[in-house]
Amino acid sequence: MNEYELIPHLFRTEYRKIISVLCKRFGFSEIEIAEDIAGDTFAAASEIWKIRGVPPNPTAWLYSVAKNKARTHLRRNSIYGNKVLPNMVDRISDSGEEIDLSPQNINDSQLQMMFAICHPTIPPAAQVGLSLRILCGFGIEEIANAFLTNKETIQKRLFRAKEKLRAEKVPIEFPTESEIEERLDLVLATIYLLFNEGYYSSSAERTVQKELCFEALRLCSILAENKITDKPKVYALLSLMCFHSSRLEARTNRDGELVLYEDQDPSLWNSDWIRKGIHFLHRASSGSGISKYHLEAGIAYWHTLKSDSSEKWENVLQLYNRLLQIEYSPMAALNRTYALSKARGKKEAIEEAEKLDLKENRYYHILLGELYSSMDSEKAKLNLQKAISLGGTEIEKSNLLKKLEQL
C-alpha cells in the first residue's frame, strides 16, 4: 500500500485515537488545539512520506510526531503563560509520559471521551455529530452527507456543542459509580442512533452506509471490553447490531435499491455475524434486568432464521408486545404490525396498522401498500403514492414506483 492509499486509511483508524488522548490531556477548553495537532500530524505524513517513502512503522511514526507537536505546544503554553514551574518544562520536553499513546490509555481515552460527548446537556444530534468527528475520524463533509445537510450546518452544530462542553466544564473521565447507569444509557442511545443512521440511511445517494454501522459496532465493542462498562445492556446492543449487520449485504441489490426482508436472499446473510450476535446475546442474559436492546436483539435474532413459520412470527410478535410496554415508539408499533401480518394474517394487521394513524410517515404508507397489495390494489396504490410524496431517498422512490407499475 503506497502513501496515497495508506494515509487515508490511517487517518480513519488513528486520528480518533490521537485526538482522544490529546483532548483528555488538554481538556475541552483546547479541543481546537488537539484537532490542529492531529491534523498537522497527518499533513506532515503526507508531505514527508511523499519524499522519503513510508516508514517501517507508520503508526509509531504518527504517534511520535503527535507527541512532539503536543510537547511543543505544552512548552510554549507554559513559558508564555507562566502556568507551571520552570522545571516542569524540562520534564515535558524530556519525558513521553505527558502524552501517553499506549493502547490502554488510547482505549480509556476513547471511552472517557464517549461519556463526555454524551453529556446530558448536549442535544442527541450533536452527540452523534461529535462522535463521528472525534471518535470516528469523519470529516465535516462526510458528517454533512450522513445527516443529509450542508457543511455549514454541521460546523455550527459542532461549534455550539463544543462551546457547551467548555461552558459546563465537562471533564473527560469516567462517571462516578452513582452516575454510570444513567450516563451509559445516553452513550448507548448515541451509538444506536449512529448505527441506525447507517442502517436506515437518510442519504439520498446511499440506502445503507456500512461504515457508520461498523463504527457503531466498534464503539460498542470498546464499552464491552472495559470492566466498568461491560454491562448486560451493552452486550444486548452489540448483539442487536451484529444480527442486523449479518443482513447488510442482502438489504440492497446490485443497483443499490433496498430489498425488503421477505425478498432477501438468505444465502447472502453472514453466518459469522449471526454467531457473534448469538454469543453476545448469551452474554447479555447474565443480568436480571431486561432492556429494550435485549428485546430488539431477540427480534433481530428471529429475523436471522430462514424459516417463515407462524411460530417464528408469533415469537417476534410477543417480543414486540413486551418492547412496546417498556418503551413505546410509533416505529416499533409499525414494525409489530408486519409481524402480526405474518403470524395472524393481513386483515388483522391492516386493522392494527390503521389504528396507528401515522399519516405523515412514509413507512406507514409503504407497509399499508404492501399489506393491501394482494387484497385491494386501489388502496395499495394510494398508499404507495402517498409514501413517494413524503420523501425518502431517490433509490427508495424508484423502488416504490416499480411496485406501483406492478400493481
- Contacts of 357-365 with CB under 8 Å at 24 or more apart are 358/330, 358/334, 359/386, 360/390, 361/330, 361/334, 361/390, 362/386, 362/387, 362/388, 362/390, 362/391, 362/392, 363/331, 363/334, 363/387, 364/334, 365/390
Return the pLDDT at 231.
Answer: 94
Residue 333 lies in a domain: no
Is 16 within a domain? yes
Closest of 290, 139, 141, 114 to residue 205, by C-alpha: 141
Q: Where residue 402 falls among pLDDT bands split at 50, 70, 90?
A: confident
> Does residue 198 fall inside a structural domain?
no
> What average pLDDT does the segment 104-120 reach?
92
**165, pLDDT greater than 70:** yes
Is 18 within a domain?
Answer: yes
**Cα(241)–Cα(273) distance, integer angstroms:** 9
Confidence of residue 260 (pLDDT cuts 50, 70, 90): confident
Structure confidence at residue 96 (pLDDT): 41
- Predicted local confidence at residue 258, as pLDDT: 76
Taking residues 223-232, what's their average pLDDT?
Answer: 93
pLDDT at 182: 85
Q: What mean pLDDT, rounded, does the chain reach?
A: 88
Residue 139 falls within a domain, yes or no?
no
Mean pLDDT of 251-277: 89
The reported pLDDT for the residue numbered 180 is 87
What is the band of 158 on the pLDDT scale with cuts at 50, 70, 90? very high
Specify the pLDDT at position 257: 74
Q: State yes or no: pLDDT of 322 exceeds 90.
A: yes
For the segment 336-344, the average pLDDT, to the nearest whole number, is 95
Average pLDDT over residues 105-134: 90
Supply the pLDDT for residue 79.
55
Phi and psi for 87 in degrees, rounded to 5?
Answer: -70, -15
Residues above pLDDT 90, as percent of the chain: 57
- Do residues 198 and 80 touch, judged by C-beta distance below 8 A? no
Q: Is the pLDDT of residue 339 over 70?
A: yes
The stretch 306-334 carries a mean pLDDT of 94
Q: How confident is the model at residue 279 (pLDDT cuts 50, 70, 90)?
A: very high
- For residue 15, being part of any structural domain is answered with yes
97 in a domain, yes or no? yes
**Range 100-115 average pLDDT:** 91
> Residue 90: exposed, middle, or buried by beta-carbon count in 10 A (0-12, 13-18, 19+)?
exposed
Confidence of residue 80 (pLDDT cuts 50, 70, 90): very low
pLDDT confidence band for 207 (50 / 70 / 90): low
Pick the most confident of 88-97, 247-256, 366-375, 389-398.
366-375
Mean pLDDT in residue range 73-85: 62
Q: What integer pLDDT is reported at residue 84 of this predicted model?
A: 44
Residue 50 included in any domain: yes
The boundaries of the domain holding residue 87 are 3-101
Judged against a pLDDT cut of 80, whether residue 78 lies above it is answered with no
Give the lowest-confidence range in 55-59, 254-258, 279-283. Answer: 254-258
Mean pLDDT of 263-291: 94
The whole-angstrom separation of Cα 75 and Cα 282 is 51
pLDDT at 242: 98
Confidence check: pLDDT of 137 > 90: no
Q: What is the pLDDT of residue 393?
A: 73
Query: Helix, strand, or coil here: 252?
Result: strand
Instruction: Inform me whether the pLDDT recorded for 13 exceeds 60.
Output: yes
Report the number of distinct structural domains present in the chain: 1
Per-residue pLDDT at 301:
97
Which pLDDT value is given to residue 264? 92
d(CA 261, CA 247): 9
pLDDT (tens digit, 9 = 90+) per residue, 21-33? 999 888 888 899 9
